Structure 1
């Protein structure tokens, strides 16, 4: 066999492919930590816990946890800086601690991504990733090729998946809502009524109305979604299809609007009306803290909804085609930005 000498660049390239090849292990290790509530266990023990303490808290009394398997998972998550490990001052067993990352895995925190981790690990959402090459060859939506229907159809038929989906969306809504309220203070003051189109269980609109009680809020989504929504002061829940019609209002806030911009335009007044679009804006040369995640989210959309993330130039073209030639972009402290779009006179 001929001996092949690899230079440093080729070795680095090989290492990169190895990393891509098994990058799913990071997510599965993270998922295991969420399912086992490891961050919650450490948090409930004062922010530091030994491996044996974590294992004892995982035990349900019927089975005995495999502490060696737990140690292997924790070793990877420490290397990925999800947790840290430190020797105690008394010379006992090492202590695992939370980091800024693992604090986002606490189940009962207002700032948590744990429900989204569990949602993304559901077999129905994992399967479409295997259809990307087929979508390139044939066209079509990965999720529909996999399941023969849209994700919303499965949610409407399966209460457990519907709850998992709603919980996943609600957890991100909480901290995105906080970012919107802190970064868009002037935008809500002149609005008398506001419809959150695709508002899920109403978390965003309820917080807006709580902060700005002069606003009459409407949470508008599919009937099976709003049926799960709790009651909020100042908010009405309306079930319907955004692709057919949207309730009339001063302004609309929406997270995915491409196919319904014209319906949005019909629902708001020509003078002083506006659509508040909460979306990721891709920056191809961006170096911001969330800029790389935007490109990941574009493929998540490809896998699950047949939607896509867009650059500002792409958004400009879409808005003009929907009758919104004038807009401005407002950056907020979140993965998403706000696009404030104003309807054309005609």
Structure 2
């Protein structure tokens, strides 16, 4: 039986946990400010180590009035505590030097692999607002983004070029990160494809990299007309505007990265059935790049699958992350009775599904 002292200790720990979660947003806001101020880039430009004065001076050179170095120091103190940066105190009593870590290297704006645009996108007020509608969604149903912003996210993007650009930049940077994982971990799967259509391919970053690494593939980037209208030209890739709920361009295979999780089961089944019409009956396949939720998973990204599931409530019209059993169900109903899950060095996995 618990002693009174043990009960008090565990209760106090519980209180501490609630305080931590209550202010969980402080981490993302501090991180957002660091990205907006380009602190990781400034440290990188100083050879990987910089003092607060050097960071502030570079911020000032960017055209801002005199920076508040005390405010900067307090933000950096939290980010050091969170292991986003480290701080080194020289033995000669010089100013402390702030260094990059393996985490803050992902915040470099000009790096080929960066998550900075995605971080700015997800922490934009318009995309944060739907999170405040969760309890309302539980009570009365409905779409969180529409409750917060008056319309669904895709309609909002098509009518607001600035938001559309922010959204596309965020998607493009994550596409590069995930694409690297696909190219490293799915070489064999791409080796025997003659043509590949990227459904919901945005501005074409994924399909262009796949074609660059596999020149034998004829690439088709397929998305809504207002999205592909901003897409640059890529060698070996053509852009086609359309609606995946109506028809998908024909190809040997279809790839969809972080598309299915935006939609409910019925919509996913419609998309899959259109995919089935677009590919050959023999040797055709659908390559789905998505999270597979593992209720007891302990991998480096498994926890994020649960967070992304709530992200789907915030930003989509019925989307969700799925367990393997949930994937199996919609694949079968969509006309893909066989599948296999392939782990790649990235947040999502590859679900390779076959029509026969």
Q: Using structure 2 for the length normalisation, give the TM-score.
A: 0.94
Unpaired segments of 5 or more residues in structure 1?
none
Call closer, same or farther: CA 1:62–1:36 in 2, change over 3 Å: closer
The structural deviation recorded for 1:176 is 0.6
Aligned-partner SS, 1:125: helix
Matched, 1:272 2:283: yes
Counterpart position of 2:341 = 329
Which residue number in structure 1 is paired with residue 200 of structure 2? 198
Name the SS for the 1:260 alignment partner: helix
Gaps spanning 5+ residues in structure 2: where?
Answer: 261-267
The CA distance in 1 between the partners of 2:58 and 2:87, in whole Å, is 18
Q: CA–CA distance in 2 between the matches of 1:159 and 1:61?
A: 26
Equivalent residue number for residue 114 of structure 1: 116
The alpha carbon displacement at 1:290 in A equals: 0.4
Q: Who is 2:163 aligned against? A: 161
Deviation for aligned residue 1:61: 4.6
Distance 1:98 1:335 in 2: 22
Match for residue 7 of structure 1?
A: 8
Report Cα offsets for 1:246-300 as digits up to 9, x if no partner: 0011100012232411111111111111000000000010000000011111111
Match of 2:312 among 301, 305, 323: 301
RMSD over equivalenced CA pairs, Å: 1.2
- Counterpart in the other structure of 1:282: 293
1:207-260 CA-partner distances (Å, limit 9, x unpaired)? 111111111100000111111111000000001111111001110001223241
Q: TM-score, normalised by structure 1?
A: 0.96
Q: What secondary structure does 1:7 align onto?
A: helix
For residue 271 of structure 2, the aligned residue among 240, 260, 265 is: 260
Q: CA, structure 1 residues 234+115, in 2 after alignment: closer, same or farther (shift >3 Å)?
A: same
Aligned partners of 1:301, 1:86: CA distance in 2, in Å?
Answer: 40
Q: CA 1:62–1:220 in 2, change beyond 3 Å: closer, same or farther? A: closer
The one of 281, 299, 323 equivalent to 1:311 is 323
- Counterparts of 2:320 and 2:300, CA distance in 1: 20
Distance in 2 (CA, whole Å) between partners of 1:340 and 1:155 is: 30
1:207 and 2:209 aligned: yes
1:37 aligns with 2:38: yes
